[in-house]
Amino acid sequence: MLKCVIIGAGPAGMNAALYLKRAGIEPIIIEKDVPGGEMLKTNKIENYLGYESIDGGELALKMKKQIKDMGVSIIRDEVLDVSLNDMFEIKGKNDCYNADYVIVATGRKPKELGVRGEKKLIGKGISYCATCDGAFYRDKEVAIIGGGDSALTEALYLSDLCSKVYVIVRKNLRASEVLQNRVKARENIVILKNVEVSEFINDEFLLGVLLNDGKVLDISGLFIAIGGVPDVRFLNNLNVETENGYIKTDDKMRTSVRGLYAIGDVRYKDFYQIITAASDGAVAALSIREEA
Ligand code: NDP
């Protein structure tokens, strides 16, 4: 039986496993963390057809259960290197794996702001995930940086917990109209446009931020939601073609390396949604079946 290793258990990777299993190709998922990817950081998903509204963690669990029930193995390991000889050799922290095909579904990690002191304040006022850390700031004033769907989704979540939420946008909002309208309807959300954070004010913990228009916001928590960066260092040996750090594919999800596919947020594309990640997974699996 042909074997396919899928690296990453987000919606893209899990959907690829479902389609591969049904096509008679053995999928093994390697995931360094808990299955679910970015969904785990989203408290409410309202644009995944079939669920009017569902918690991200719950959707992740449902996907995981469905593929586990089909007999798909999810191995906890971190992939450090992938090389190609007769077969792919995948070197993990704990073990080594061989495969006829590899699907990269590792998503991306949050982008850092790059303001001095950021790393030191992580967990001491700075966070990249409102769903994970919002509860620490109950009834306090917080800010979120970013004007995309992530920032506004997190602002809505925080506005239920915190007394006031500033949204700091460097130019203009780019989030969907639905989210923009919901945010505008919340009395405790203040949107500050054309402004950036130039300094953190802190002792051991964050006390506030200085903006580049000279204003100071006294806040206890700062959430950074300015997009993500894909991490594809483990593919260095394969010289796979990328664009802005994202893996380039054709419309069958094939990369520049024969037998290597890329799906979901790690892929260079226009739209980064759960439904498009899942769709990439289906396309990759069906392409592999066609090629095998
Ligand atoms: P986006 O890339 O869409 O938005 C990033 C935001 O951060 C922009 O406002 C950008 O500003 C700003 N930004 C980037 N760098 C900096 C910086 N150095 N300083 C200040 N601001 C900065 O990222 P998201 O994470 O919001 O979304 C990623 C993808 O995921 C999108 O396709 C989005 O649609 C999707 N998504 C969908 C959701 C949903 O449908 N429920 C929920 C969450 C995400 P500028 O515009 O000036 O570049």
d(CA 145, ligand 1 centre) in Å: 10
Q: Which residue has the tokens 């596919």?
A: 261
Q: Are residues 274 and 217 in the same domain?
A: no
d(CA 111, ligand 1 centre) in Å: 10
**Closest ligand 1 atom to 196 CA:** 20
Which amino acid, 154? E
Residue that finishes a domain, picked among 192, 224, 256 = 224
Q: Are residues 216 and 242 in the same domain?
A: no
Active site residue 95: no
Active site residue 129: yes
Q: Does residue 113 lie in a domain region?
A: no
Q: Does residue 81 lie in a domain region?
A: yes
What is the Rg, in whole angstroms, of the alpha carbon atoms belonging to the chain?
20
d(CA 16, ligand 1 centre) in Å: 26
Among 45, 21, 68, which Cα is nearest to 285's? 21
Q: Can you state the percent helix, strand and coil of the chain, rounding each to 5?
A: 30, 30, 40
CA distance linking residue 35 with residue 18, whole number of Å: 14
Q: Are residues 78 and 104 in the same domain?
A: yes
DSSP characters for 152-187?
HHHHHHHHTTSSEEEEE-SS---S-HHHHHHHHT-T
Active site residue 231: no
What is the per-residue pLDDT for 43? 84
Domain count, the chain: 2
What is the per-residue pLDDT for 272? 95
Residue that finishes a domain, picked among 193, 224, 255 = 224
Q: In this structure, which residue's CA is closest to atom 14 in ligand 1?
A: 226
Q: Contact 260/102 with Cβ under 8 angstroms?
A: yes
d(CA 118, ligand 1 centre) in Å: 19
CATH of the domain at 158: 3.50.50.60
Tell me the CB-side half-sphere exposure of residue 237, using CA atoms within 13 A: 12
Q: Does residue 204 lie in a domain region?
A: yes
Output phi, psi for 69, to 5 deg.
-65, -25
Query: Best substitution site from 226, 268, 274 to test ligand 1's pocket, by max atoms within 8 Å of Cβ?
Result: 226
The ranges of the chain with pLDDT < 50 are: none
Which of the following is catalytic: 132, 160, 231, 250? 132
Q: Are residues 101 and 144 in the same domain?
A: no
Q: Where in the sequence is the domain holding 249, given as residue range(s)? A: 2-108+230-291
Contacts of 247 (CB under 8 A, 6+ apart): 104, 230, 232, 235, 240, 241, 255, 262, 266, 267, 268
